[in-house]
Structure 1
Amino acid sequence: MIKKINIKDFAIIDEINIDLNPGLTVITGETGSGKSIILEAIASLVNGKFSKSAIKHGASRCVVDLEFDKRSYRKIYNKTGRSKSYIDEVPMTQNDFLKSFESKIEFHGQNDQQIILKTENQIDFLDYFCGNQKDIAKIKIIFDNLEKCRKDLIDLRQNIALHKEKKELLEFQLNEIQMADIKEDEEEKLYSDYKKLNNQEDLIKKLNNVKQSLNDYENGVVSSLTNLSTELNQAMKYDNSVEDLSEIISSMIMQLQEIEIDIEARLSTDDFDISRLPNIEDRINLFEQLKRKYGGSIESIFENEKQIRYELNKISNYAKSDSELKKQITKLERKYTEIAFKLSENRRSNADTLSSMIEKSLAVLNMNHAKFDVRLSNNETDTSFIKNNGIPVKPYAKGIDQVEFYLSANPGEPLKPMSKVASGGEMSRIMLAIKTVFQDKNPVSTLIFDEIDTGISGETAQKVSKHLKKLSKYKQVICITHLPQIAISADNHLHVTKSVINSNSTYVKAEYLIGDFSRSVIKNLFVGEEVGT
């Protein structure tokens, strides 16, 4: 429970310190006295909502301190819009600070009535009653993943359609390169052969001239060197030192003879087969054509081939991804269906119980003839992966059910959607009835009501008072009230006053009232109302 609250420079409050007690605490005060500001300060800690305009005029910051059980919580808000959070004087992130209040304090105000009036939110109340929170968390994740996979599949198929023409072009280009069957260093050999064949006559003539110059019997180079070698061999009779010269000449003769053999071999091969020239020219033309198309060199053709293969592989992977996504979608649909039917069964088995409990609670709150019904339905559709009793139904993030609260507040009136028929006073009691029904399931130890008594009076106010009192046996209940019936029944009566000092300063004071003084203040505040006992 909340034990203490200290508020400094918040709205019109300079500084206020309040010790809070167990049971039912009512806060009273004239309109504009600052009683709602106290709850706003507490709410700023619990829900993190704060406007820098709430900092008191002339102050640079405001501070809210709260002691809950044995822990202290502090929030410092600056004019810059930034804030600092502390738990037991230890700095905390905003997220961790807010998480620390989970299952501790719960607020109820006019906004909560608007929340429950919205049909799309009513399923949350039924799920809370059923204890469906874990399955809801699971099915939401599955639903989100299912939606994402479906979107991915649509995008993928659009890509496949867009890449169809591109794939055809890439396949044509790859086939064109593959059919060319280009070998490494082939281009160099082609140009070499082309040059030979294109100048064949002159080349053969020159090779024959060399051959003839080498082996002419009388004037050939080999013949001349042979004669020189003979002369040197004879000279060796007189000077052994010329042997080296003889060996050099002999080596030259052998090399020239090898050249002659090589020329003979060249002249006898098909390197000079002129019939090859058209094929070589065609091949060269093909290479030049491909080079113009794919980057200007043989290397660039090879690089293009790699890139084309990569792109085609990517496109072919679309088909694989399509198959994988369909498998994933089927798997998610199966999981979704399993949890959706589990949730639906649990909701339907608890809907009547919740309806009955809220009706009983409303009767205690002077709505004796009220009928309350929690109704479930499915949205039928033409096609869906999930069917209920053989009928395709639309899936949602929380399952297949649509939940709506129906209310008949008066005898003879048919049940109608609560959002269309509930008055302000009825909504206050419906909300209180729901809080009462859920109190065993609700782990929070402090309930705070801002004007729970809106639109009620007389006997109804008396019954709401007793209901709050009963609720306060299990929880710490704090509420602002405008009704004497509620104020007089409280365990603690906190009265807020506002005074003006020197015409330019506002002072807000909160003090507990007891006994006759409390009754006197209540009587003065609620002139004309029946106080009761």
Structure 2
Amino acid sequence: MLISLQIKNFAIVNELTIDWRSGMTAITGETGAGKSIAIDALSLCLGERADVASIRPGATKAEITAQFDIRQLPYAQQFLSDLMLDDEEQNCILRRVIMQNGRSKSFINGNSVTAAQLKELGQRLIAIHGQHAHQLLLKPEHQLRLLDAYAGHDNLLHAVRAQYQHYHTLQKEHAELIKQQQAQAAKKQLLEYQVQELDEFALEEGEYEQIETEHTRLSHSQTLAESCQRELMCLSEQDDQTVLGQLQHSVQTFIELSNYDPKLQEISQLLGEAAVQLEEGCRELRAYGENIEQDPERLQSVEDRLAQAMALSRKHQISPELLHHHHQQLHEELASICSNNERIEDLQHEIAEALHAYQISAAQLSESRTQAALTLNELISESMHELSMENGQFAIQLNQHEDRRPNELGMDQIDFLVSTNPGQPLQALAKVASGGELSRISLAIQVIIANRVTTPTLIFDEVDVGISGPTASQVGKQLRQLGNSTQVICVTHLPQVACSGHHQFFVSKRVEDGETFTSMLPLVQEQRINEIARLLGGDKVSSTTRASAKELLEVQSL
């Protein structure tokens, strides 16, 4: 429940504090006094879009603070708890500051929050019905929203929305893959040819380097064999003139000389080790030379493979060393395209299953809407009778089309139908109802919906436009009855509606030194009589109008 509202430097308000009470509160005032200014300020405090033009001229910022009692509001409590903004006393204080630079600041219980969070919390605290609500009544999406609000089947709406989102995601993926498939058709054909060619060549990783090395060895096998034999002869196989023979002779010489000088013993050891290493090297060289083969056929085979590798590398414009890696990349790219085709087939099955699941949820939602519509038809028709449309009939027409393109609100097409005269068939609301009738039907729907939807505070901002006489009296009684269970705030210009309030505020403005100031004051009984008399008879209040006002207050308060 709204407890208080503080407004500073907003529009023509300098500073204003309003304390609110339970029940129905009527707000009246002179034309142009700004009867809706408190509602506008409250809307801003609840997260509506900020406008620099709303700052009072000459002020640097506008500030609005609203305090709520949320002890009986579990949804609001849970919201605050989730954001760790809850208060031990279960109070809820919202504050909005609008700066001259166009920026705004939002606060909940003294903590900085976003305007979106402020708005989300506000939806759990207050529902505002504006004077143009009857115009929205002609829009199918608004009609569907009203029906869903009355039905209260949030779980079904959530299920349909979730199924639709899943179906839509699959459809989007399918469309993207089809688009890719079309764009990649020519590329796939080229890749298949390239991969097949490289598959046939089947170059292994590191193979090019190996065959390049082998080619060099095979093409120089004659040189290798002759050189090895020549050097082997020089090292160890040429009588006493070999390097090994001379080295062994030196070793023996220094062994003998070490008898004369022990220092030569270390030299003889080093030369002996060298002789052993040289002898081992000669054995390895002999074995290598014996295994050198001159294989013209193998050489030709290696040359052919090298030539083919070079040709493929030129064809793909890469170095031969990268040919194997390039082959793998093309193979992966082709596999990706092929897997896309497989995914498209899988998606077609998934989309069909998702659509079927969506249709089941949407059918359940349609059934719930149909049941709620039957009840709502009777309630609105009865309310029309009470609002001076004695022969009025109201009906909600729902059409379910399984072949209709899915959307997150289900498969239903809705139309509000009405008949206002005897013998007149039910027709679309926009074709039949006059402006006044449309306003009355809209108000009846809003009251019925508000009575069903458990919003703690309801605000009606001049929704009684186009209503007068007995109809206005009935509207006032309906709003007062609603105020017995819910806090209702109503901005009105009708004395019958104003009289129905448990409480009443009067809005006035004054001009001082070229500046305009607005005030909003609660009225006691005598002041209410005078204000109702003004609404009845104009600016001049007579004893007659006062007597009528007093009587009207007594009648509407019953």
Same fold (TM over 0.5): yes
Structure 1 residues 297 and 368: alpha-carbon distance in aligned structure 2, compared to 1, 3 A threshold: same
Separation in 2, partners of 1:63, 1:148: 43
Amino acid at match of 1:66: A
Deviation at 1:225, TM superposition (A): 5.9
Out of 206-215 and 334-343, give the one that drifted further: 206-215
The answer to whether the 8 Å contact 2:310/2:320 transfers is: no
Structure 1 residues 278 and 449: alpha-carbon distance in aligned structure 2, compared to 1, 3 A threshold: same
Q: Could you list the per-position Cα deviations for residues 40-75 of structure 1 after superposition, in whole angstroms to 9, with x for gaps in the alignment?
A: 111212342331101100001112122222443322
Unaligned runs of 5+ in 2: 70-90, 260-267, 539-544, 553-558
Separation in 2, partners of 1:252, 1:472: 113
Structure 1 residues 353 and 290: alpha-carbon distance in aligned structure 2, compared to 1, 3 A threshold: same
Deviation at 1:149, TM superposition (A): 1.2
The answer to whether the 8 Å contact 1:119/1:419 transfers is: no
2:190 maps to 1:180: no
Alignment of 1:210-221 (within 5 A): 221=238
2:413 maps to 1:402: yes
Match of 2:471 in 1: 460
Query: Which of 302, 321, 335 is matched with 2:324 structurally?
Result: 302
The answer to whether the 8 Å contact 2:228/2:285 transfers is: no
Match of 1:55 in 2: 55
Match of 1:382 in 2: none
Out of 417-426 and 394-403, give the one that drifted further: 417-426
Match of 1:377 in 2: 399
Amino acid at match of 2:238: V
The answer to whether the 8 Å contact 1:425/1:453 transfers is: no
Match of 1:33 in 2: 33
Separation in 1, partners of 2:216, 2:329: 30
The answer to whether the 8 Å contact 1:75/1:86 transfers is: yes
Match of 2:524 in 1: 514
Query: Which of 200, 203, 222 is matched with 2:239 structurally?
Result: 222
How many residues align structurally? Answer: 508
Separation in 2, partners of 1:127, 1:344: 10
Structure 1 residues 251 and 488: alpha-carbon distance in aligned structure 2, compared to 1, 3 A threshold: closer
Structure 1 residues 149 and 34: alpha-carbon distance in aligned structure 2, compared to 1, 3 A threshold: same
Separation in 1, partners of 2:409, 2:96: 35
Structure 1 residues 302 and 273: alpha-carbon distance in aligned structure 2, compared to 1, 3 A threshold: closer
Deviation at 1:316, TM superposition (A): 2.9
Structure 1 residues 459 and 290: alpha-carbon distance in aligned structure 2, compared to 1, 3 A threshold: same
Structure 1 residues 525 and 278: alpha-carbon distance in aligned structure 2, compared to 1, 3 A threshold: same
Helix, strand or coil at the partner of 1:427: helix
Q: Could you list the per-position Cα deviations for residues 290-319 of structure 1 after superposition, in whole angstroms to 9, with x for gaps in the alignment?
A: 232345543211221232232223223313
Separation in 2, partners of 1:57, 1:148: 50
Match of 2:503 in 1: 492
Separation in 2, partners of 1:257, 1:464: 121
Q: Could you list the per-position Cα deviations for residues 443-474 of structure 1 after superposition, in whole angstroms to 9, with x for gaps in the alignment?
A: 11222111122111122122222222222222
Helix, strand or coil at the partner of 1:366: coil
Structure 1 residues 73 and 264: alpha-carbon distance in aligned structure 2, compared to 1, 3 A threshold: closer
Separation in 1, partners of 2:65, 2:295: 104
Alignment of 1:86-235 (within 5 A): 86-182=107-203, 184=207, 185-193=209-217, 195-196=219-220, 221-222=238-239
Deviation at 1:481, TM superposition (A): 1.5
Unaligned runs of 5+ in 1: 380-386
| Percent identical | 31
Q: Could you list the per-position Cα deviations for residues 128-156 of structure 1 after superposition, in whole angstroms to 9, with x for gaps in the alignment?
A: 22222221122112212212211211111
Q: CA RMSD in A?
A: 3.6
Separation in 2, partners of 1:126, 1:453: 22
Out of 105-114 and 369-378, give the one that drifted further: 105-114
Separation in 2, partners of 1:347, 1:294: 65
Amino acid at match of 2:51: S
Query: Which of 361, 365, 373 is matched with 1:339 structurally?
Result: 361
Deviation at 1:343, TM superposition (A): 0.8
The answer to whether the 8 Å contact 1:214/1:222 transfers is: no
Alignment of 1:268-279 (within 5 A): 271-279=293-301
Separation in 1, partners of 2:416, 2:96: 39
The answer to whether the 8 Å contact 2:105/2:112 transfers is: yes
Structure 1 residues 275 and 420: alpha-carbon distance in aligned structure 2, compared to 1, 3 A threshold: same
Structure 1 residues 409 and 278: alpha-carbon distance in aligned structure 2, compared to 1, 3 A threshold: same
Separation in 1, partners of 2:229, 2:21: 124
Out of 127-136 and 365-374, give the one that drifted further: 127-136
The answer to whether the 8 Å contact 2:396/2:417 transfers is: yes
Match of 2:306 in 1: 284
Deviation at 1:278, TM superposition (A): 4.0
